[in-house]
Every structure is written in structure tokens, then in C-alpha cells.
Amino acid sequence: MSIRAHIKAWTPPAIVDARRHWLGHTLRFGDAGDDWAAAGRQSSGYAADVIVDRVAQATREVIAGRAVFERDSVLFHEPDYRYPIVAALLHCAQANNGRLDVIDFGGSLGSTYRQCKPLLGGVRELRWRVIEQPKFVAVGRREFTTDELGFAESADELPPSDVPALILVSSVLQYLEQPHSALDRLLQRRASHLVFDRTPMSARAEDRLCIQQVPKSIYDASYPCWVLSRPNLLRRLAAAGWDVLGEFPGMEGAFTTPSGLAFEFRGFIACKK
């Protein structure tokens, strides 16, 4: 163990968290009203072209073998599997005789696909289709499309499949002006499994709007972000015929806004009843 790692291991978590916050290495959330447009005016926004370029360059590094995977344009050089997602993928494949059709809503340039791929060797037939913003789709189609991986701007563009899909929704709904409408449209696809990950949820009965500050170590930006009501979301899914099999914590952790809104990033796995 290096000296730096040894010191970190013995440093109290509260001090580590405070240092990360001071250095700008953690997410921060401020309170906002109920108006999405007003929250947008309070945010700095971000340079979309810069983000797409950074994610594309990081993806090229992964494909070239100089990193294991990327997330939010940050390169990782050691495997870090999201085992709940992998378990759901394998469960879906097993239910469909080894065939797996994934609709990855907000999947960047295939980040989760490459992160999970090493553990999907037993899948006989894999089709992974990312739904993203037009600029991501353009780059994805130009550079990163394969026999397994494809890109589309909406679910309406996806060809029909004879295998019920697994819908993956990871770190995306909270950044949409109307997250529930977007989810309802997505769930109109024929799907047997639904996986949420990295989604901020609270125990309150209503969604709350915040302003999220991105860590400076990634890029300097802030934008509106919904904290979804977990009870309301679960009721909506149950009413739509989904059975939640299990929940798991998100990697981002728990937060509290200045007004006292407590929430945490969570995920869960659901199957169609």
C-alpha cells in the first residue's frame, strides 16, 4: 500500500468528504422553485459540444485499450461492475433463451454497454441500442456503431424485436423537464425488465426541483435536476403493471439541500407482471 493510500485508509470519512467538497470533486445541489424554465435561468448551463467531444475522446481511449471504461467522460483503468445491472441483464437473457435486447435510455456513447460487456459472455445474442441527444447519436453512428451496439434519437426509431426488451434508465430522467411523460412513452415499448440506476429520490410525496452543480474535476456546469418522489414513482410503476424485485444504492450517495431536502441516488430492478 502506498503512503497516500495508507493515509486515506486511516482518514475519517467526514474529513475525506469535506476535502472532496472543498476541491470540487463532489456533486452539489441547491434549491429551486417549481418552474423548470426559471431553474434553467438560474443555472450556468453547459457547452454541449465540449461534453460530446470529451466523451467521444474518452470512448476512443477505451476502444484503444488504454482504459477499461469511461463514465461521464472520466476514464477508469480498473473494472468496476454495476452488479445489480449485470444481474438484471443476465436474468432477462435467461428468460429469453440467451437473447438480450437492451434499450439504453440516455446511454451516452455506450458507456454501460462496455462496462458490463465482459460479464455477458453467456449471452447468445445481444442487441444494445442507445437513445440519446442528436449530437451523441451522430458521433455514435459515425464512430462507434457495431453489430451489437446502435444509436437512435428516440424509441420510435428502433426496429421491432421478437424479444421483450430490457429498458435501462441510468442518470437521465432527473434532467428532463417532464420525466414521467418521457418514461411513459418509453414504457410503451414491449419490455419485460426495467432497470433504474443513479436516480435521485426522496421519501416525499412530490417531486422537487433542484439545481445541480457538476464537480469541477469533470466540467464546470450547473443545470436543473429533479429529485423524484420514490413513493410516487413506485405507485406509478405498480399501476402500469411492473413488479419491483429489488432496490440498490446509487454510487453518488446521499445529499441534503440548504432547505433540508434529504435524498439519495438509488436504483431498482422491475419485471413486467
Q: Residue 177 belongs to what domain range?
A: 27-54+82-272
Residue 6 pLDDT > 50: no
In angstroms, the CA 220 to CA 214 distance is 6
% of the chain exceeding 90 in pLDDT? 77
pLDDT band of 18, cuts 50, 70, 90: very low
pTM for the predicted model, two decimal places: 0.87
Residue 2 lies in a domain: no
Residue 46 pLDDT class (50, 70, 90 cuts): low
Beta bridge partners of 105: 131, 169
C-alpha cell, 257: 439541500
- Asked whether residue 165 is domain-assigned, the answer is yes
Residue 68 inside a domain? The answer is no
Q: What is the pLDDT of residues 166-184, one digit of tens each?
A: 999 999 999 999 999 999 9
Residue 34: predicted pLDDT: 86
CA–CA separation, 24 vs 27, rounded Å? 8
Q: What are the tens digits of pLDDT across the range 68-101?
A: 999 988 999 999 999 999 999 999 999 999 999 9
Dist CA 156 CA 189 (whole Å): 9
The β-bridge relationship of strands 99-105 and 165-170 is parallel
Residue 44's pLDDT band (boundaries 50, 70, 90)? Answer: confident
pLDDT tens sequence across 225-269: 999 999 999 999 999 999 999 999 999 999 999 999 999 999 999
**CATH code of the domain containing 104:** 3.40.50.150
Cα separations in angstroms, 78 against 1, 38, 74, 107, 197:
17, 41, 12, 20, 21
Q: Quote the number of domains for the chain.
A: 1
Contacts of 259 (CB under 8 A, 6+ apart): 31
- Does residue 162 lie in a domain region? yes
Q: Is residue 112 domain-resident?
A: yes
* Statement: residue 15 has pLDDT above 60: no
C-alpha cell of residue 71: 463514465
Distance (Å, whole) CA 173 – CA 72: 16
Classify residue 135: in a domain, yes or no. yes
Q: Indicate the burial class of 234 (C-beta count within 10 angstroms; 0-12, 13-18, 19 or more).
A: middle
In percent, the amount of the chain with pLDDT more than 70 equals 89
In a domain, 36, yes or no: yes
| 25-34, 198-207, 251-260: least confidently modelled range | 25-34
Residue 65 lies in a domain: no
In terms of DSSP H, where are the helices of the chain? 3-10, 13-22, 36-42, 48-63, 83-95, 111-116, 134-139, 179-186, 230-239
Please tell me the predicted confidence (pLDDT) of residue 13. Answer: 42
